[in-house]
Amino acid sequence: MGGHAQQDSDKAAGFMGLIGGALLIGAIMYGIVIWTNGQFAGHEAEGKKAAVVSSSLMVG
């Protein structure tokens, strides 16, 4: 009734979208982690440098 033809399932397209979306979100999260680690790399180096200078002052 209603004149509509039987449509095929779009399950494959749904799974492709699910996997593609998961990969996209994973890539974005990976990029954020890499960017954040790059931002804090300088802070860590400064902290180690200050620790070496202060420990050498205490020894000498």
3-class DSSP state of 7:
coil
Q: What is the largest CA-CA distance in the chain?
A: 95
2-52 pLDDT, tens digit each: 667 777 889 999 999 999 999 999 999 999 999 999 998 877 666 666 666
pTM beyond 0.85: no
Helices and strands in the chain, H and E counts:
1, 0
Task: Please name the amino acid found at residue 1.
Answer: M
DSSP character at residue 38: H
